Amino acid sequence: MPTTSKKTASVSTRVTPELKAQAETILDQLQLPMSTAVNLFLQQLVSQRKIPFETNLPDLPLNYDSLSKDTVNVAIRKGLTDGKRFSAAQIRAELIEDN
């Protein structure tokens, strides 16, 4: 019967002390060591072939002059599905205020 040796590799990263403490608090409640949590993350990354959670770019101030018609339409559709409603006067006032 062939034997397999389990080798390990080290992963080192830097985080703020606050983030580490907050993560450790949660992991303690879950009774998981930090190394197990990192292993879970990496296993999911490999199996899903993507970051295993949603990531988004932060909302940035818009440059209205550079927006395409498609970009505006996508933003309008998103606003409608989010339940956000603005009157034409509110939109006009916002555009004037930004200029």
- Kindly tell me if the per-residue pLDDT of 60 is higher than 70: no
Residue 79: pLDDT band with limits 50, 70, 90: confident
Average pLDDT in the 31-44 region? 95
Residue 6: pLDDT band with limits 50, 70, 90: confident
Nearest to 61 by CA among 90, 88, 85, 97: 97
CA distance 34 to 4: 25
The more confidently predicted of residues 43 and 53 is: 43
**Number of residues that make up the chain:** 99
Write out the H or E segment, with its range, that includes residue 44. helix 34-48
**Token pair for residue 24?**
């450790």
CA distance 53 to 77: 24
Predicted TM-score of the model (pTM): 0.52
CA distance 79 to 81: 6
